[in-house]
Amino acid sequence: MAMKFELIVLGKTNEEYLAAGIADFQKRLQRYCQVTIKTVKERRGRIADKARLREEGSQLLAQVAADSLIVALDRTGRQLSSLELAENIGRWRDSGKRVVTFIIGGPLGLSPEVLERAAMVISLSKMTFTHEMARLLLFEQLYRGFAILAGTKYHK
């Protein structure tokens, strides 16, 4: 059985150009693994930031499969090179890990509960990106990681 990568996010991808890019990389990734996106509805209305963050965290974690390795994307996380991400993908694959779940929060970030459950917390950059853009960047980097492992020309 092939590895499965899940992306759990808050809210839909509204920008068409980002949705098209995400769909493109999702299709490209199919040659290496299964990829799914689970969308959790964003909480609207008046609610204190801490309560909203806690509620969003609970909703995100409720979507995670029991046997999944969780990787949280957060500005406080460790920055990896593309080669380091590829090494992690290879390690997960070689250790028999079947499901890896990436979680991207909303404008408030991720709750402490999500960060504590994560086996790894990574940051895409010191720069700030929209959460929708982070989805595209993550998929491109996953594809690049598999291309590195496969020795294709994509990474060169």
What is the tens place of the pLDDT at every residue in 39-63?
998 877 667 788 888 999 999 999 9
What is the tens place of the pLDDT at every residue in 99-117?
999 999 988 889 999 999 9
Residue 50 has what pLDDT? 84
Is the confidence at residue 155, as pLDDT, over 80? no
CATH class of 4-151: alpha beta
What is the tens place of the pLDDT at every residue in 8-38?
999 899 999 999 999 999 999 999 999 999 9
Select from 16, 8, 7 the least CA-distant residue to 41.
Answer: 8
Select from 69, 89, 90, 73 the least CA-distant residue to 124.
Answer: 73
Measured distance CA(155)–CA(44) in Å, rounded:
40
The residue ranges of every structural domain in the chain are: 4-151
Helix (H, G, I), strand (E, B) or coil at 140: helix
Residue 52 has what pLDDT? 87
Is the confidence at residue 92, as pLDDT, over 80? yes
Neighbouring C-alpha atoms within 13 Å toward the C-beta of 74: 20
